[in-house]
Amino acid sequence: MHHPTEAQLLRIFIGESDRFGRRLLYEAIVEEAQQHGISGATVLRGIMGFGADKQLRMAKLLRLSEDLPIVIEIVDTSERIASLLPTLNTMIPKGLLTLETIHCITFSKTNM
């Protein structure tokens, strides 16, 4: 275990059906983060939520929504996150981004 280091957590809130060109927006964002050398990104699919449009979206057994909430979490240094933001600005037509300072602890087991 390494000692905690300061990092940034960027959360991007979009819809599952949002697109960037012909691609799903969440896939395009994660691939762009990878190309920027970002340490890590995870896509989380929500089961219920609403955004600025106040339209409730939810997954139900009988009716599966095709536009569920998506949260993309990206973790890295503040400098790398800052370098990614201008690109994200061109990719995301509507959504919400939050940015917070976190303490990051990394684990690596080399003797398994």
How much is the pTM? 0.85
pLDDT digits (tens, 9 = 90+) for 27-37: 999 999 999 99
Rounded Cα–Cα distance for residues 81 and 78 (Å): 5
Q: What pLDDT is recorded for position 62?
A: 47
Rounded Cα–Cα distance for residues 39 and 16 (Å): 23
pLDDT digits (tens, 9 = 90+) for 88-107: 999 999 889 999 999 988 88
Give the C-alpha distances (Å, rounded to integers) separating 64 from 1, 71, 95: 41, 18, 22
Helices 25-35, 78-91: crossing angle, 10 deg rounding: 140
Pick the CATH number of 5-104 from 1.10.520.10, 3.30.70.1140, 3.10.450.50, 3.30.70.120: 3.30.70.120
Q: What pLDDT is recorded for position 48?
A: 78
Rounded Cα–Cα distance for residues 61 and 8 (Å): 36
Q: What pLDDT is recorded for position 66?
A: 67
Q: What pLDDT is recorded for position 25?
A: 97
* Low-confidence stretches of the chain (pLDDT beneath 50): 62
